[in-house]
Amino acid sequence: MAPGASSMLVRAARRALASSAATGGGAWRVCIVGSGPAGFYTADALLKGSPDVRVDILDRLPVPFGLVRYGVAPDHPEVKNVTERFTGIARDARVRFAGNVRVADGAGLTVSVDELRARYDAVVLACGADGDRALRLPGEGLRGVSSAREFVAWYSGHPDCARAGWDLSRHDTAIVIGQGNVALDVARVLTKRPAELASTDIASEALAALERSAIRRVIVTGRRGPLQAAFTTKELRELSKLDGVRLSVLLGCNADAGSHGTADDEGGALSERALAALSGEADRPRRRQAELLRKLWLESVGGGGVARQFEREIVLAFHMQPVGFEPAGVDAGARAGNGGEVAGELGAVRFERTQLSPDGRSAVGTGEYERTPCGYAFRSIGYLPSALPGVPFDARRSLVPSAHGRVLGSADAAAMPLPGLYCSGWYKRGPSGVVLSNIGDGAETAAAILADRAAGTLGARAGTDGAARGGLDAEGDGSLRALLAGRGVRPVDFAGWERIDRHEREAGAASGKRLRKVVAVEDMLRLAREADD
Amino acid sequence: MAASARNVAACVRPLLLRAAARGYRATQAVRHGDDHGDRESAADVPFTIVDRAGKAHAVTAKAGDNLMYFAHKLQAENPAIVIEGACEASLACSTCHVILSSQHFDVLDEPSEQEDDMLDMAPCLSATSRLSCQIVLKPELAGMTVSLPKFTRNFYVDGHVPEPH
Ligand SMILES: Cc1cc2nc3c(=O)[nH]c(=O)nc-3n(C[C@H](O)[C@H](O)[C@H](O)COP(=O)(O)OP(=O)(O)OC[C@H]3O[C@@H](n4cnc5c(N)ncnc54)[C@H](O)[C@@H]3O)c2cc1C
Ligand code: FES
Say yes or no to pLDDT of A24 above 60. Answer: no
Report which DSSP code applies to A396.
Answer: T
What is the rounded CA–CA span in Å between residue A398 and residue A522? 32
Q: Which residues of chain A make contact with B26, given a CB cutoff of 8 A?
A: 76, 78-79, 234
Q: Which residues of chain A make contact with B86, given a CB cutoff of 8 A?
A: 81-82, 85, 435-436
Q: Which helix (H) or strand (E) holds A274?
A: helix A272-277
pLDDT of amino acid A313: 96
Residue B34 lies in a domain: yes
pLDDT of amino acid B37: 61
Say yes or no to pLDDT of B24 above 70. Answer: no
Contact A213, A376 (CB under 8 A): no
Residue B132 lies in a domain: yes
CB contact under 8 A, B88 and A444: no
Report which DSSP code applies to A146.
Answer: E
Among candidate residues A483, A493, A427, A446, the one with its CA nearest the CA of residue A34? A427
How much of chain A, in percent, has pLDDT values that exceed 90? 72
CB-based contacts of B52, cutoff 8 Å, min separation 6:
B80, B82, B148, B149, B150, B152, B153
Task: Give the pLDDT band (50/70/90) at residue B158.
Answer: very low
Say yes or no to pLDDT of A305 above 70. Answer: no
- We report the CATH number of the domain holding residue B41 as 3.10.20.30
Report which DSSP code applies to A364.
Answer: E
Q: Tell me which chain B residue has its CA closest to the CA of residue A148.
A: B165
CB-based contacts of A166, cutoff 8 Å, min separation 6:
A146, A151, A154, A206, A209, A376
> Which range is most confident: A159-163, A301-305, A322-326, B6-10?
A322-326
Residue to mutate among A240, A284, A362, A438, with most B CBs inside 10 A, is: A284
pLDDT of amino acid A309: 77
Split into its structural domains, chain B has a count of 1
Task: Give the pLDDT band (50/70/90) at residue A11.
Answer: low
Say yes or no to pLDDT of A268 above 60. Answer: yes
Give tens-digit pLDDT for B97-133: 999 999 999 999 999 999 999 999 998 899 999 999 9
Whole-number CA gyration radius for chain A = 26
pLDDT of amino acid A342: 60
CA angle at A384 for the pair A381 and A387, rounded to the nearest 5°: 160
**CATH class in words for A142-332+341-383:** alpha beta
Task: Give the pLDDT band (50/70/90) at residue A6.
Answer: low
Say yes or no to pLDDT of A30 above 60. Answer: yes
Q: Average model confidence (pLDDT) for chain A?
A: 88
A126 C-beta closer than 6 A to ligand 1: yes
Give tens-digit pLDDT for A460-507: 554 454 445 788 988 788 899 999 999 999 999 999 999 999 999 999
* Nearest atom within ligand 1 for CA of residue A59: 44
Say yes or no to pLDDT of A333 above 60. Answer: no
A127 C-beta closer than 6 A to ligand 1: yes
Domain locations in chain A as residue ranges: 3-130+385-491, 142-332+341-383, 494-533
Q: Which residues of chain B make contact with A385, given a CB cutoff of 8 A?
A: none
Distance B68 CA to ligand 2 centre (A): 9
CB-based contacts of A113, cutoff 8 Å, min separation 6:
A33, A103, A123, A125, A388, A389, A390, A391, A421
Q: Tell me which chain A residue has its CA closest to the CA of residue B86.
A: A82
CA torsion sign for A188, A193, A199, A205 is positive
* Nearest atom within ligand 1 for CA of residue A437: 19
Beta bridge partners of B145: B48
3-class SS string, B94-149: CCCEEEECHHHHCCCCCCCHHHHHHHCCCCCCCCCEEEHHHCECCHHHCCCEEECC
What is the rounded CA–CA span in Å between residue A51 and residue A74? 37
Query: Binding residue per annotation — A26?
Result: no
Give tens-digit pLDDT for A377-429: 999 999 999 999 999 999 999 999 999 999 999 988 889 999 999 999 999 99
pLDDT of amino acid A272: 79
Mean pLDDT of B30-57: 80
What is the rounded CA–CA span in Å between residue A231 and residue A76? 16
pLDDT of amino acid A330: 66
pLDDT of amino acid A306: 55
Say yes or no to pLDDT of A250 above 90. Answer: no
Shortest distance between the Cα of B48 and any Cα of chain A, in A, equals 23
Inter-CA distances, A277 with A171, A225, A280, A298, B8, Å: 43, 16, 8, 19, 18
Say yes or no to pLDDT of A21 above 50. Answer: no
What is the rounded CA–CA span in Å between residue A270 and residue B133? 33
Residue B48 lies in a domain: yes
Give tens-digit pLDDT for A422-456: 999 999 999 988 888 899 899 999 999 999 999 99
Give tens-digit pLDDT for A284-301: 999 999 999 999 988 888
Give tens-digit pLDDT for A68-92: 999 999 999 999 999 999 999 999 9
Residue B136 lies in a domain: yes
CA atoms within 13 A on the CB side of A221: 31
Range of the domain at B117: 28-147
Q: What is the pTM of this model?
A: 0.88
Protein residue whose Cα sits closest to atom 3 of ligand 2: B91
Q: Please give the residue that has the higher pLDDT: either A7 or A365.
A: A365
Q: Is 3.40.50.300 the CATH classification of the domain at A3-130+385-491?
A: no
Q: Average model confidence (pLDDT) for chain B?
A: 77
Residue B85 lies in a domain: yes
Side chain identity at residue A350, one-letter code = R
Give tens-digit pLDDT for A510-533: 999 999 999 999 999 999 998 654
Q: Which residues of chain B make contact with A439, given a CB cutoff of 8 A?
A: 84, 95, 151-152
Give the mutation target among B28, B66, B96, B116 for probing the ligand 2 site: most ligand atoms within 8 A of CB.
Answer: B96
Residue B158 lies in a domain: no
Mean pLDDT of B22-49: 63
pLDDT of amino acid A44: 96
Residue B165 lies in a domain: no
ipTM of the complex: 0.84
pLDDT of amino acid A474: 82
Query: Binding residue per annotation — A504?
Result: no
> Which range is most confident: A208-212, A223-227, A453-457, A464-468?
A208-212
pLDDT of amino acid A241: 95
